[in-house]
Amino acid sequence: MSEFSKLTAFISEAMSKRRFLSIFTGAAAASFTRQSASQAATGNAETEKQTFGTMPATFIGRVPRESLPQHMQKSWDRANELHGDTTYVETFGNAPEVYDWYNNDYYKKIFYSGRIDDRVMQLVRLRLANVHGCAFCNRGDKIAAREAGVPEEQITSLEDYENGPFTEKEKAALALADVMVLTNPKGMLTKRIYDRARAHFSDGELMELGVNMAVLCGMAKFLFAYDLVEKEDYCPFL
């Protein structure tokens, strides 16, 4: 082999080794970066979880009672009497228009529209609150359910509603709630569930039920994520 051929072979071998080393070190660095990021994310999540308790401890600023609009001061008084905690109202003091939308536009125009039996709506809302483990919600929703005429036997039998003192219509609505609940991320309106519900509700009513449950579940996620309300000891999001 000529000197030129030897030199060419040497350079080719060196370049090949360099490319391999570059690829290997690059892959190793990427793997280390991904692993470090994963460990950091896991560590942060664990740290945050350790500080997440049943009582609210949000980072959102609180508006004192005396600085709230008058109608929200009344809400503050009710919250203090019922829950012994006013975080929900005080934090919403930062956005009173949103607070009013939720209570006036959503609740008065949609939840209490009268297009769906109020007792059914109350049972569905209470079922969602029970499963989500929202102590703040459970406390207020039970009062509203009783005022709507829901018997105590039904309120205490929601955990096993299929075998409880409920009508077939109420059971069908509660089965829909189990499709929508936050703990069932893969819940779907299957043909069986639809046929069961369709025997008691029109498609329009099913759409309205679905939107109501979507708002309630979305609100629950917001309340938990922002840590604005008291949770039950069994809350699955603690």
Q: Has residue 16 got a pLDDT over 60?
A: no
Task: Give the separation between CA 113 and CA 110, rounded to whole angstroms.
Answer: 5
For the residues 1-29, what does the mean pLDDT come to? 50
The tokens for 237 are: 């999001």
Q: pTM here?
A: 0.78
Which 3 state secondary structure label does DSSP give 229?
A: coil
Task: Give the separation between CA 169 and CA 186, rounded to whole angstroms.
Answer: 24
Q: pLDDT over 70 for what percent of the chain?
A: 78
Check if the beta carbon of residue 138 is closer than 8 Å to that of residue 119: no
How far is Cα of residue 23 from the mean position of the Cα atoms in its chain? Answer: 43
The single-letter code of the amino acid at 205 is: E
The tokens for 120 are: 């059914």
| Three-state secondary structure readout of 144-198 | HHHHCCCCHHHHCCHHHHHHCCCCHHHHHHHHHHHHHCCCCCCCCCCHHHHHHHH
pLDDT in tens, 181-236: 999 999 999 999 999 999 999 999 999 999 999 999 999 999 999 999 999 999 99
- What are the residue ranges spanned by the domains of the chain? 1-51, 65-225
Question: Which residues touch 9 (CB under 8 Å, ≥6 apart)?
Answer: 1
The tokens for 145 are: 């359910």
Which residues make beta-bridge pairs with 134? 231
65-225 CATH, one of 3.30.1330.60, 1.20.1290.10, 1.10.20.10, 3.40.800.20:
1.20.1290.10
